[in-house]
A and B are shown apart, each in its own frame.
Chain A
Amino acid sequence: NAGVTQTPKFQVLKTGQSMTLQCAQDMNHNSMYWYRQDPGMGLRLIYYSASEGTTDKGEVPNGYNVSRLNKREFSLRLESAAPSQTSVYFCASTTTGNSYNEQFFGPGTRLTVL
């Protein structure tokens, strides 16, 4: 099993450009997440998808959109990139049920917006 995969690994954008970050998991997990990691700020939740067909805002959703394409794939789109969106982006997934379970993280996408 590959676990959680993310593409691309690195990306440089100019202000105003758009792009989509891709995430896929092969663990048959129901829930998927997008986080951003900034120095001194920890991991902050952007959007999540509790199950196929549903998406909800997290702590810092402004400037982003998401699509849960199917059970495996969850993409994050920046419609008009801004320098404040320079960050490392992580996708994660987990099974859900009556109790909390381990979240499995991808290797991350390092995004720079000039």
Chain B
Amino acid sequence: GENVEQHPSTLSVQEGDSAVIKCTYSDSASNYFPWYKQELGKGPQLIIDIRSNVGEKKDQRIAVTLNKTAKHFSLHITETQPEDSAVYFCAAPNYGGSQGNLIFGKGTKLSVKP
């Protein structure tokens, strides 16, 4: 089955700086890579995803890049703001299970200091 590694586990940045979170996956057949944001006391929420037919996708201050050769993908947040403070999870499909199943990374706790 799929294995997803996520780094770093914690990340602290100053407001306005950029933040980068990296994930690697093991199954070369994987073709869908979502990122979820979990605010304190809430369930995770999808913020951006990328499919394997593109190398980069942007949505305002967030972007995701994908390198299928190296089997890694990254989340980039520019001009960070205090409300970006949260736990972020990457994920990849688990083809060992039913269609729709995801394997999640262990999460990155991002702290943005004002």
Where the two chains meet, the residues of A that have a C-beta atom closer than 8 Å to any C-beta of B are: 4, 31, 33, 40-45, 48, 50, 56, 58, 90, 92, 94, 96-97, 99-103, 105-108
From B42, B99, B104, contact of A43 by CB (8 A): B104
Interchain CB contact under 8 A, A107 and B42: yes
Are the CB atoms of B106 and A42 closer together than 8 Å? yes
With a cutoff of 8 Å between Cβ atoms, the chain B residues found around residue A41 in the complex are 106
- Are B106 and A96 in contact (CB-based, < 8 A)? no
Contacts of A96 in B (CB 8 A): 98-100
Q: Which residues of B contact A (CB under 8 A)?
A: 6, 9, 32, 34, 36, 41-46, 49, 51, 89, 93-94, 97-102, 104-107
Tell me whether A42 and B97 are in contact in the complex, defined as CB-CB below 8 angstroms, given that A100-B32, A103-B102, A107-B42 are known contacts: no
Contact pick for B101, options A4, A45, A108, CB 8 Å: A45
Q: Is B43 within 8 A of A105, CB to CB?
A: yes
Query: Can you name 16 A-B residue pairings with CB atoms under 8 Å?
Result: A33-B101, A42-B6, A42-B104, A42-B106, A43-B44, A45-B97, A48-B98, A50-B98, A96-B99, A96-B100, A97-B99, A102-B49, A103-B34, A105-B45, A106-B43, A108-B43
Select one of A40, A45, A56, A101 contacting B9, CB under 8 A. Answer: A40
Nearest Cβ distance between residue B42 and chain A, in whole angstroms?
Answer: 6
Give the distance in Å from the alpha carbon of A9 to the alpha carbon of B8 in the complex.
30
Q: What CA separation (Å) do A40 and B107 show in the bound complex? A: 7
Chain A residues within an 8 Å CB radius of B101: 33, 45, 48, 58
- Whether A103 lies near B99 (C-beta < 8 A) is no
Q: Nearest chain B CB to A81's CB is how many angstroms away?
A: 22
Q: How far is the CA of A68 from the CA of B41 in the complex (A)?
A: 26
Which residues of B lie under 8 Å from residue A92 when comparing CB positions? Answer: 43
Determine the distance from Cα of A44 to Cα of B57 in the docked complex, in whole angstroms.
27
- CB <8 Å contact, B89 and A100: no
Determine the chain B residues whose CB is within 8 A of the CB of A106 once the complex forms. Answer: 43
Residues of B within 8 A of A58 (CB): 97, 101
CB pair A56–B100 under 8 Å, yes or no, is no
Are B46 and A90 in contact, with the CB atoms below 8 A? no
In the complex, besides A43-B104, A96-B99, A105-B45, 8 extra interface pairs with C-beta distance below 8 angstroms are A4-B43, A42-B6, A42-B104, A90-B44, A97-B99, A100-B102, A105-B36, A107-B42
